Structure 1
Amino acid sequence: MKTLQDVFGGPSSNGFGSASFVVPAATEAQLDALALARYQDFVGAAWSKRGDAWRSGFHEVYRRPAAGDGGIEAALHAVADPAVRGVAGGVIDDHEDPAGARAAMVGVFDAPDVRALRIYALGDGEAMSGIEVAALRDSGEAVFLLVLLD
């Protein structure tokens, strides 16, 4: 997790760029609600001004099958939603340190104890778009990575 935070940043409410969050105790049934709450945390004060616009951009675009699918990089490239495909594919490929971004994401999201992985679309329906990757570990820890760009 430290590597993920070093590469993408820790918890933030600046609403632009990237940030990662950890929730120490979660269930798979809570993952969607927790992802939405981390998105709201990340957008920060701007959420209160245009909450409906931010909320309308939030929806699941990928769910890892129980048998797996080749890892987080394949999952990012498998996002079919055209509105977020570029952001999802670019999280690693367009990062200033692609090798570091790949290693950080693989270390967290492809760990053997990850039992659920989802990717959500983010955005305000106008200038901002992005993704959120959410993973639930066997321990109950949930990890969230958000990337929001204009």
Structure 2
Amino acid sequence: MSLSPEIPQYARDLMDFYSPPRQDAWGVTIFYERVQPEADLEAVALRQYQYFVGESSEESSPSLISWMREWKLIYQRTPDLEPNIRLELDAATRVAGLDYDDRIANMLDYDYDETGQDREPTILAAGFNSPEVKDFQIYNLGDGEVMEGLLAIARRRNGETLTLAFLDD
């Protein structure tokens, strides 16, 4: 989803790699949006999550409540940390008590180096590990029963947001 007339190359590369966001979708998707630099990042993330699961923000649907059951911030990058989306996703899952390590690698198409260690695709790192990223958060998603996943959102200094969401059942 893009609410901006022009999408920068780093976001286009990610959208091409993971495909554009679709409502009622499962799997991985990328959102790009330009917002005010000080906009409420959680509100942006929540709006994108609602779109991804097929809920209109105008609806006050009981099903939205079930999709929101597991929504919570589980990780926030601090200024002293070296950006590394791969390590941060892994850390966030452990903090939340989730067992996603293998599924994250499979869903995000991690590459493997010569020693067999997995690493995030270069395009994923370009979008989320950039020095221009000033805010980075990870949210737990799901209903606690059938659907589970993560949503990672990064905001650059100029207000560009990049969101990676993935859902699994």
The corresponding residue for 1:140 is 159
Call closer, same or farther: CA 1:137–1:14 in 2, change over 3 Å. Answer: same
Task: Between the two structures, name the one with larger relative contact order (CA 8 Å, sep ≥ 6).
Answer: 1
1:2 aligns with 2:9: no
Q: Give the letter for the 1:75 counterpart.
A: E
Change (3 A) 1:27 1:56: farther
**Which has a greater percent of helix?**
1
Query: Is 1:118 aligned to residue 118 of structure 2?
Result: no
Closer, same or farther in 2 for the Cα pair 1:95/1:53, shift >3 Å?
Answer: closer
Distance 1:43 1:16, change over 3 A: same
C-alpha displacement of 1:121:
0.5
Deviation at 1:30, TM superposition (A): 0.9
Change in 2 beyond 3 A, CA 1:76/1:28 = farther
Aligned to 2:109: 97
TM-fit CA distance, 1:112: 1.3
> In structure 2, what is the equivalent of residue 59 of structure 1?
72
For 1:119, the aligned partner's letter is I
- What TM-score does the superposition give when structure 2 sets the normalisation length? 0.77
* Matched positions, count: 147
Q: What letter corresponds to residue 36 of structure 2 in structure 1?
A: A
After TM superposition, the score normalised by the length of structure 1 is: 0.86
For structure 2, the 5+ residue unaligned runs are 1-10, 112-118
Instruction: Report the Cα distance in structure 2 between the residues aligned to 1:143 and 1:26, rounded to whole angstroms.
Output: 13
After TM superposition, which residue ranges in structure 1, 4 or more long, deviate above 6 angstroms?
none
Three-state SS of the structure 2 residue aligned to 1:3 is: helix
Equivalent pair of 2:34/2:161 in contact (CA under 8 Å): yes
